DNA sequence: CGCGTCATTGAATACTATCAACGCCAGTGG
DNA sequence: CCACTGGCGTTGATAGTATTCAATGACGCG
């Protein structure tokens, strides 16, 4: 096992990583890439349910998802947990910790997941010497802010059907950008997690999935999702009342 | 009018700005501060309702609020608007545009507002020479991400009373950090805007305000808010069911 | 002073949460 | 190999809460 992991590690570097353009190495020159590569620690896969970091832990590194999927969540004083995001390969997590000494949120693997660990102190000093590295970090954070605004808008949508439609379409786009099918994919998280993220209880999740299926928009088999009528789906998610009435 | 504005501008710089520690100049040396000062453009106040920038406009600068208040919003394809945040003096806006060529969101002054404009190209090249400037930009963005996670959690709270309580307490803290009263303040936005931000219709906003008042938690006169029982308020906002039952 | 926007109030409706119960499936231990 | 168990998902009935619709009142601005 160790042998294979080692082989895999030597083969894996930012330069030949398929996710390069989605991740921290985007927009870097070959030289910059090599330097970044030298500080990235490619760790062996962690099991489903494992913590990448926990709220309150000392912040030391940011992480890029390489394979698998991760959820990040915040824990409230009363013990309530809220899932703040799901993270697919190429996405960087832990960025909300830079401003504080400790991690404000917790990251948990949703399935067998491998990540690239990037010690922040080293990344910062690398950025001091190589402006492009620093610029790309800022770009990644800016993109993250943009995504959060999108999420904020998602959560103020009243109807559960709309929230679910939006989030399914968002996953569709994200999978497509990673070279996977935009119409047929497997959600990596449980209904419980997705409901927590959307602010809906599991019962409502179940009923809403069924309603989308009955309307002929999607076909669902466990966690496998097939978008049957993506146009109607978009009309439901983003359209106005007239557009929805027209498709109905 | 122009004379006064000019006088005011020459007196105002990052070094003696009271908001320095909340803003981009935090953690900078005196030399760094001077360089930053030289690229900051202090514009004369804009009127209530004026656009700082609009979605689709070419991104050129980020802005720091100096006085007044600003709302940022995104416009959907169907014309729906969603307010993604309210911004008080010392806060930096436009950061979600860095990753793209154009502004994804719109910024509108909620009252007479003055801002510091920071041309991003110049800030970037300044950061290349002065690592501390770049680090501070990253810290500000990280703090923004943290705040967005907080907002995300806020919006998944079911009860309108809880959402309103949380947002009032958040404003209380933000005003207090700026040297204003934590118990008595004036909300800069309309009920409509606050409702849009929270995902609630104006009617619900009105009723919820009244319910909080009837419970003796707050006292409301137009946009003036007084937090009468901040402990009970926190119990409602962040507490669990037992804590709320105990205070009732 | 008059107009328009914003805020408020009431009544009816629609939606989601809650409570309760059951089916399904994987992992575990006998 | 099979039964057991616990987490997850589903379904039904009920209750609670926000939205919608309709109308009036208040405030600021020209």
Cβ distance of A148 and B145 shorter than 8 Å: yes
Confidence (pLDDT) at A13: 87
A–B CB contacts, 8 A cutoff, strictly below = 137
Confidence (pLDDT) at B11: 54
Rounded to two decimals, what is the model's pTM?
A: 0.92
Average pLDDT over residues B176-189: 96
Would you report the helix, strand and coil content of chain A in percent, each value rounded to 5?
50, 20, 30
Q: Can you give the C-alpha Rg of chain A in angstroms?
A: 19
Q: Both tokens of residue B45?
A: 């106040």
Cβ distance of B152 and A151 shorter than 8 Å: yes
Quick: pLDDT tens for A104-158.
Answer: 999 999 999 999 999 999 999 999 999 999 999 999 999 999 999 999 999 998 8
Farthest CA pair distance, chain A: 60
Asked if strand D contacts A162 at the CB level, meaning under 7 A, the answer is no
Q: What residues of chain A lie within 8 A of the CB of B156, using their CB?
A: 82, 155, 196-199
Whose tokens are 């406009």? That residue is B57
Judged against a pLDDT cut of 80, whether residue A4 lies above it is answered with no
Cβ distance of A148 and B146 shorter than 8 Å: no
Residue of B nearest to A97 (CA): B142
What domains are defined for chain A? 20-132 (2.60.120.10), 157-247 (1.10.10.10)
Q: How far is CA A227 from the centre of its chain?
A: 20
Beta pairing, strands B70-75 & B106-109: antiparallel
Percent of chain B at pLDDT > 90 equals 85
Residue of A nearest to B62 (CA): A142
Residue nearest to nucleotide D18 (CA to C1'): B204
Residue B124 and residue A135 in contact, taking contact as beta carbons nearer than 8 Å: yes
Confidence (pLDDT) at B240: 61
Cβ distance of B199 and A104 shorter than 8 Å: no
Quick: pLDDT tens for A192-232.
Answer: 999 999 999 999 999 999 999 999 999 999 899 999 999 99
Cβ distance of B95 and A145 shorter than 8 Å: yes
**Nearest nucleotide (CA of B201 to C1'):** D19
Q: How far is CA B81 from the centre of its chain?
A: 18
Paired strand residues for B226: B184, B219
Q: How far is CA B194 from the centre of its chain?
A: 13
Judged against a pLDDT cut of 60, whether residue A246 lies above it is answered with no
Confidence (pLDDT) at A37: 94
**List of protein residues whose beta carbon is under 7 A from strand C:** A 158-161, 199-201, 203-204, 208; B 158, 190-192, 202-203, 205-207, 209-210, 220, 223
Q: How far is CA A13 from the centre of its chain?
A: 21
The angle at the Cα of A145, spanning B118 to B154, to the nearest 5 degrees, equals 120
Quick: pLDDT tens for B3-31.
Answer: 333 444 445 789 889 999 999 999 999 99
Residue A76 and residue B153 in contact, taking contact as beta carbons nearer than 8 Å: yes
Residues 6+ apart with CB under 8 A from B109: B46, B47, B48, B49, B50, B52, B68, B69, B70
Residue B19 and residue B66 in contact, taking contact as beta carbons nearer than 8 Å: yes
Whose tokens are 């003796």? That residue is B216
B222: left (phi over 0), alpha (psi -120 to 50) or beta: left
């Amino acid at each position: 096992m160790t042998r294979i992991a080692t082989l895999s590690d030597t083969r894996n570097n930012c330069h030949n990583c398929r996710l390069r353009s989605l991740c921290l190495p985007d927009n870097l020159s070959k030289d910059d890439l090599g330097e970044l590569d030298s500080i990235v620690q490619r760790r062996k896969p962690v099991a489903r349910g494992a913590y990448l970091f926990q709220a309150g832990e000392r912040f030391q590194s940011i992480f890029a998802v390489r394979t698998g999927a991760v959820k990040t969540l915040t824990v409230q004083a009363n013990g309530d947990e809220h899932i703040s995001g799901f993270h697919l390969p190429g996405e960087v997590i832990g960025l909300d910790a830079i401003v504080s000494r400790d991690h404000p949120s917790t990251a948990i693997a949703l399935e067998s997941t491998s990540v690239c660990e990037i010690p922040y102190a080293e990344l910062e000093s690398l950025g001091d010497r190589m402006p492009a590295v620093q610029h790309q970090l800022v770009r990644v954070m800016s993109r993250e802010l943009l995504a959060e605004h999108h999420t904020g808008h998602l959560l103020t949508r009243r109807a559960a059907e709309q929230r679910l439609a939006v989030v399914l379409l968002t996953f569709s786009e994200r999978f497509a950008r990673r070279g996977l099918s935009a119409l047929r994919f497997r959600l990596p998280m449980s209904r419980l997690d997705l409901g927590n993220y959307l602010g809906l209880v599991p019962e409502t999740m179940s009923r809403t999935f069924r309603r989308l299926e009955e309307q002929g928009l999607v076909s669902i088999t466990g966690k496998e999702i097939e978008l049957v009528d993506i146009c109607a789906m978009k009309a439901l998610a983003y359209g106005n009342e007239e557009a929805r009435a027209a498709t109905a």
